């Protein structure tokens, strides 16, 4: 495990919840990932101490002024057991676990790495907290895909779990660890089940931004396309803007009204078919650039069962507990993202 000082990111859009983390010791895993980069950019706007764990120590971050003190630690959670020593040294008030491994189409099949990063490291973390008698607020970035192809379009915390991928199975197990340790050892662990996150980063890091599907589609559209629709084009999806996702993390990290061991759905509450989403992107690209982007239909592609899901997030339980609501509707978020990708402001 190596250590270095991390260069700060540009401060993100105004986050009214991040002030509640002032003077806290915050440990973030997955700090060099898409959501991690966005979260750090909010934390840099307040006086706090951050220990940022990441697998990639070579990512170049643009330097800006920051109120936070930040240490970067290179850690491969798939091959390291680091929690006892790390927590004994840092004694964090808040742990935000964004580290994840997911098998993707055309990528190497690695179920044991998926298990280790998404599940085993959470168990090791919780055991270390018990051994050291530490009681930080622990936040697990989880997935709304745990509901699978639910029997209802709107999904809430009471929707039966039907995980259809290894990633979802392992995230569900990690959630159950959080619940068990909350009840058995009074640890304050919370899982956030995110809908599809999208949007630009303050770093304007194209590689990171392209790791989420909607961003990748928008960049392809700006490059002239074509875009593709498949047989699931009528399926509904919920998309949440990156700043709203970060706001949800920050409010849960400090809210006193959160129930330990609970899970919360985080999404926009709006559903759009995949056809509507792609049509909206092409229309906005044409308005911004005068570029016509073709949408093609591929009826031969093999689709995984999870790709047939319909999903709209019911975030009312999180709203009732914290007051959090999403601020950016999809049409506005697409416009902001396209403008940022073209070199403009995120605002």
> Is 189 inside any structural domain?
yes
Instruction: Assess whether 132 and 180 both reside in one domain.
Output: yes
**Token pair 């915390």 in the structure block, residue:** 157
Sign of CA dihedral 121, 127, 133, 139: positive
pLDDT at position 113 is 84
Listing DSSP states for 64-116 in one string gives ---SSEEEEEE--TTS---HHHHHHHH--SEEEE-------TTS---HHHHHI
Rounded Cα distance, 162 and 145, in Å: 8
Instruction: Assess whether 226 and 305 both reside in one domain.
Output: yes
> Is 346 inside any structural domain?
no
CATH number at residue 119: 3.40.50.720
pLDDT at position 15 is 82
pLDDT at position 12 is 46
> Is 321 inside any structural domain?
no
Highest mean pLDDT, choosing among 11-15, 65-69, 148-152: 148-152
> Is 347 inside any structural domain?
no
Instruction: Assess whether 116 and 246 both reside in one domain.
Output: yes
> Is 317 inside any structural domain?
no
pTM for the full model? 0.92
| 61 pLDDT more than 70 | no
Instruction: Assess whether 162 and 233 both reside in one domain.
Output: no
> Is 12 inside any structural domain?
yes
The token duo for 266 is: 């985080």
Instruction: Assess whether 211 and 145 both reside in one domain.
Output: no
Work out the average pLDDT over 197-214. 92
8 Å CB contact between 318 and 247: no
CATH number at residue 290: 3.90.25.10
Sign of CA dihedral 154, 156, 159, 163: positive
pLDDT at position 203 is 81
Rounded Cα distance, 179 and 87, in Å: 20
Instruction: Assess whether 69 and 192 both reside in one domain.
Output: yes
> Is 323 inside any structural domain?
no
Instruction: Assess whether 135 and 215 both reside in one domain.
Output: no
Instruction: Assess whether 156 and 223 both reside in one domain.
Output: no
| 345 pLDDT more than 80 | no
Instruction: Indicate the pLDDT class of residue 11, thresholds 50, 70 and 90.
Output: very low
Rounded Cα distance, 102 and 83, in Å: 22
In terms of residue numbers, what domain contains 82? 2-198+239-267
Whether the upstream peptide bond of residue 226 has omega within 30° of 0, thus cis, is yes
Q: Number of folded domains in the chain?
A: 2
Instruction: Assess whether 87 and 141 both reside in one domain.
Output: yes
Measured CA to CA in angstroms, residue 26 lies from 48, 178, 206, 231, 233 at distances of 8, 18, 27, 44, 41
- pLDDT for 169-191, tens place per residue? 999 999 999 999 999 999 999 99
Return the minimum-mean-pLDDT range out of 106-115, 147-156, 163-172, 267-276.
106-115
H helix or E strand, kind and range, residue 240 = strand 239-241
| 2 pLDDT more than 70 | no
Work out the average pLDDT over 44-51. 94
């Amino acid at each position: 495990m190596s250590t270095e000082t991390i260069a700060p990111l540009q401060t993100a859009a105004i986050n009214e919840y991040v002030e509640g983390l002032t003077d806290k010791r915050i440990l973030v895993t997955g700090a060099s990932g898409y959501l991690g980069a966005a979260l750090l950019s909010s934390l840099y706007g307040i006086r706090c101490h951050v220990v940022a764990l990441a697998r990639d120590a070579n990512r170049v971050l643009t330097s800006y002024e920051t109120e936070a003190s930040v240490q970067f630690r290179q850690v491969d959670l798939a091959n390291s057991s680091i929690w006892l020593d790390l927590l004994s040294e840092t004694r964090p008030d808040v742990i935000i676990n964004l580290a994840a491994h997911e098998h993707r189409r055309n990528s190497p099949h690695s179920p044991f790495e998926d298990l280790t990063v998404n599940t085993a490291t959470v168990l090791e973390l919780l055991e270390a907290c018990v051994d050291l008698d530490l009681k930080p607020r622990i936040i697990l970035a989880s997935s709304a895909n745990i509901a699978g192809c639910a029997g209802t379009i709107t999904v809430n915390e009471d929707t039966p779990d039907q995980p259809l991928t290894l990633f979802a199975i392992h995230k569900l197990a990690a959630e159950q660890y959080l619940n068990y340790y909350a009840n058995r050892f009074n640890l304050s662990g919370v899982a956030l089940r995110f809908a599809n996150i999208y949007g630009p980063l303050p770093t304007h890091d194209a590689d990171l931004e392209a790791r989420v599907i909607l961003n990748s589609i928008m960049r392809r559209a700006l490059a002239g396309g074509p875009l593709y629709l498949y047989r699931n084009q009528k399926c509904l999806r919920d998309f949440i803007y990156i700043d709203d996702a970060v706001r949800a993390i920050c409010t849960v990290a400090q809210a006193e009204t959160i129930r330990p061991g609970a899970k919360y759905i985080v999404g926009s509450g709006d559903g759009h078919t995949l056809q509507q989403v792609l049509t909206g992107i092409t229309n906005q690209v044409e308005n911004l650039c005068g570029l016509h982007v073709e949408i093609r239909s591929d009826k031969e592609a093999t689709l995984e069962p999870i790709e047939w899901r319909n999903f709209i997030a019911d975030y009312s339980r999180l709203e009732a507990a914290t007051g959090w609501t999403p601020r950016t509707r999809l049409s506005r978020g697409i416009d902001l993202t396209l403008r940022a990708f073209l070199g403009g402001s995120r605002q």
